[in-house]
Structure 1
């Protein structure tokens, strides 16, 4: 195991025990956040010159899975917040110095969706808007969010142009009452409100440069990690945490079934149909893990050799990642339906894994339609356009 995963596993019982409190608080408990911070998971994709670890993305994914298997919300926050240092490595060095020079353990929240407009002014932009789903935001000192580029009157340009921008905690408000949901409650994915915040130009980057895979050239980065495709690295933390939740649910189910006797009086160990369901679910979850990690390994090997990861390969990689998420959650449904009435009690962890996994599956990165369309069309010799190229 890597040093981060070692730390996580040394505190596994603490993380697991904090899950119910996170559900009640509707954010990670301070204890969980402190364990994650001390582990270094958020610095795994951070440049070494700023105290980062610059690990292979597979190690980041496996660590996020392990955290998700202990507590879905903690895994989700680690997976999402943990990707932001990777992108900060492409910003102007002045921005990197401003954030990491102050604290190389600084956490940054998102989201990337352009839910507000950046109006150009001398030296930068004035930003206004309201952003939803800022996971882990209560424990973050900065945000990295998407903003629609506007005109001099503050109206978004058409066709749209998107910036990714950085703001410190003093420049935005968190709506404390905006996150009361059925699952992933502990992620605290609350709304952000920004009113007339000034953003200097050096704290912005063209989103197309990042999404297009050219940011490493603009930033003068030569490390393999930063040449890695955005369309693989960004979904990686999210889907890894989801697969971890499925693994956590499976572990809870198996532990509960060992001594369980059905209402028919037959021990579960003697019920061939339930045994089949457990075996099938375990195989599907393992297949999801293997498929996701295989893509990461293959893309890394090509990137390290200086070879291009083509649009077709990226589209197929996104298809694999999206399908892995759906396969894992379907497997959770199969075992949850066979867990008996005891699993429905709110004091059991299985129901929380079930809830968290379903909410995690609803993330935009797991919507299969345009991804499956793009991958199939590309393989047939077509050229996907518009939304069908998005996030690929």
Structure 2
């Protein structure tokens, strides 16, 4: 049974999500032109406390479950997917900070700056006294212009067996190349970071593999009820991608229904009376329900998995399938609506572009995901981490 407190938290977060989404939607053409959402949206994310959402309770953050979290992300995505992308990231990235030593957690959380990351091991780190010297170029660092801290992946090169590590940097100490110019998610501001010979102390480093094994900080104290402790970390870390996609698909169906209800063919036939559009909306709704069902399954798996119950390839396949369903819905809505939906800035045109961009994220690639899951089902190593 949901308590009154939980219900109030849920309703409050959904209202915050609507505010953020609606503001971003009203500025969508400017964000599309400038390749970043505005400072107005960033300020609202902070005002609504979303950037402090996924912190341990000791830092004053309200504690939520994965259903509440994904519904919040989905709600922003209904209005604007770039804003949903960053709303998700600016809260999610508090989760890796929760695995740092206590004094570094305190520093980052109390600082109040936004957090970005690019965890792929694209840099090269050399071990030195007290830490590492980092050099690397990192593409696709979403929201970096508005961020104070950034976690980046690297390979330690001074060992016989290369070791992957994540290093946390002060974004003021790196060069940001503003080169984001994409088909979709243009408002995400996913620019490039260039780092040259930057010293990172040991206590601003962690290893994803250590988190995956232990699912809690390597040193205490820590809040055992925190959402991102005692969980299969990487599948939990990627939970927002399918959630925002469902929000976009819901909006695509709404836009299709609205346009179809007011569309009159040259023959004089109301389009809503046509078996064509009736069949299309029915099939889109069924595919949306399938996506939502898979989302519920994904969350149920997370809630009972402390790190070893389900193979990571199954999580990846479910995420990719949800996202592909949502892409299919949006593309069909646009293609059935006709040329008017192609006009720059039309909701369907933007949703299709943004969903395609989500589908190209390395954790969302459909062909990779189903290939890996199939390998696992036949007893082979899928080589998927999350």
State if a TM-score over 0.5 links the two structures.
yes
SS in 2 for 1:248: helix
Tell me what 1:127 maps to: 134
Normalising by structure 2, we get a TM-score of 0.91
Secondary structure (helix, strand or coil) at the match of 1:365 reads coil
Provide closer, same or farther for how the CA distance between residues 232 and 2 of structure 1 changes in structure 2, counting only shifts above 3 A: farther
SS at match of 1:366: coil
Equivalent position SS for 2:194: strand
Q: Offset of 1:321 from its aligned partner?
A: 1.5
Alignment counterpart, residue 89 of structure 1, candidates 80, 98, 101: 98
Q: Helix, strand or coil for the counterpart of 1:133?
A: strand
CA RMSD of superposed structures (Å): 2.0
What corresponds to 1:216 in structure 2?
A: 216
The partner residue of 1:43 within 48, 52, 58 is 52
The Cα offsets for residues 44-75 of structure 1, whole Å up to 9 and x where unpaired, read as 22112123223112211111011011101001
Question: Alpha carbons of 1:383 and 1:28: their partners in 2 closer, same or farther (altered >3 Å)?
Answer: same
Larger displacement relative to structure 2 (38-47 or 335-344): 38-47
User: 1:309 & 1:255 partners in 2: Cα distance?
Assistant: 45
Checking the alignment, whether the CA contact within 8 Å between 2:101 and 2:217 is kept in structure 1 is: no
Say if 1:127 and 1:196, in contact at 8 Å, map to a contact too: yes
Deviation of residue 33 (structure 1)?
Answer: 1.4
- Three-state SS of the structure 2 residue aligned to 1:55 is coil
Kindly indicate whether residue 41 of structure 2 is the aligned counterpart of residue 32 of structure 1: yes
Conserved? CA contact 1:299–1:309, under 8 Å: no
User: Once the 2 structures are TM-superposed, how far is the Cα of residue 12 of structure 1 from its aligned partner?
Assistant: 4.7
CA, structure 1 residues 367+219, in 2 after alignment: closer, same or farther (shift >3 Å)?
farther
Q: 1:25 to 1:228 in 2, by over 3 A?
A: same
Deviation at residue 275 of structure 1 after TM alignment: 1.4
**Normalised by the size of structure 1, how large is the TM-score?**
0.90
The CA deviation at 1:133 is 0.5
Q: Which segment drifts farther, 89-98 or 67-76?
A: 89-98
Q: CA deviation at 1:371?
A: 3.4
1:13 aligns with 2:52: no
Map of 2:149 onto structure 1: 142
Is the alpha carbon distance of 1:318 and 1:77 closer, same or farther for their aligned partners in structure 2, counting shifts above 3 Å? same
Tell me which residue corresponds to 1:207: 208
Query: Does the C-alpha gap of structure 1 residues 219 and 261 become closer, same or farther in structure 2, counting only changes over 3 Å?
Result: farther
Is 1:75 the counterpart of 2:79? The answer is no
Query: Within 2, Cα distance between the matches of 1:224 and 1:98?
Result: 19
How far the C-alpha of 1:309 sits from its partner, in A, is 4.5
Task: Report the Cα distance in structure 2 between the residues aligned to 1:229 and 1:347, rounded to whole angstroms.
Answer: 39
Question: Shift of residue 370 of structure 1?
Answer: 4.5
Q: Which residue of structure 1 aligns with residue 4 of structure 2?
A: none
* SS of structure 2 residue aligned to 1:144: strand
The one-character-per-residue Cα deviations of 1:104-162 (angstroms, maximum 9, x if unpaired) are xx2111111111111111100111111000111111111011111121xxxxx564321
Residue 176 of structure 2 aligns to a residue whose secondary structure is strand
Q: 2:337 aligns to what? A: 339
> Are 2:164 and 1:162 equivalent residues in the alignment?
yes
2:120 is matched with which residue: 113, 125, 148? 113
Which residue matches 1:390? Answer: 384
Aligned residues: 374
Selected match of 2:292 from 285, 289, 292: 289
Pick from 277, 296, 309: which aligns with 1:274? 277
Which residue does the alignment assign to 1:310? 309
Q: Which runs of 5+ in 1 are unaligned?
A: 152-156
How many angstroms apart in 1 are the aligned matches of 2:74 and 2:232?
20
Q: Per the alignment, in what secondary structure is the counterpart of residue 137 of structure 2?
A: strand
- Report if the CA contact (8 A) 1:137-1:189 is conserved: yes
State the shift of 1:319 in Å.
1.6
Residue aligning to 1:154: none
Query: Which whole-Å CA distance do the structure 1 matches of 2:252 and 2:268 have between them?
Result: 25
Q: Which runs of 4+ in 1 moved over 4 A?
A: none
Work out whether residues 83 and 233 of structure 1, in 8 Å CA contact, stay in contact via their aligned partners in 2.
no
| Other structure's SS at 2:277 match | helix
Gaps of 5+ in 2: 1-9
Greater Cα shift, 227-236 or 132-141: 227-236
Q: Measure, in 1, the Cα distance between the counterparts of 2:205 and 2:215.
A: 13
Hey, what's the Cα distance between the residues in 2 that align with 1:187 and 1:260?
33
* Alpha-carbon spacing, 1:13–1:217, altered in 2? closer, same or farther (3 Å): closer
Deviations 1:199-243 (A, max 9, x none): 000000012112x24240524442252112123212111222222
CA contact (8 A) 1:22 1:185 kept: yes
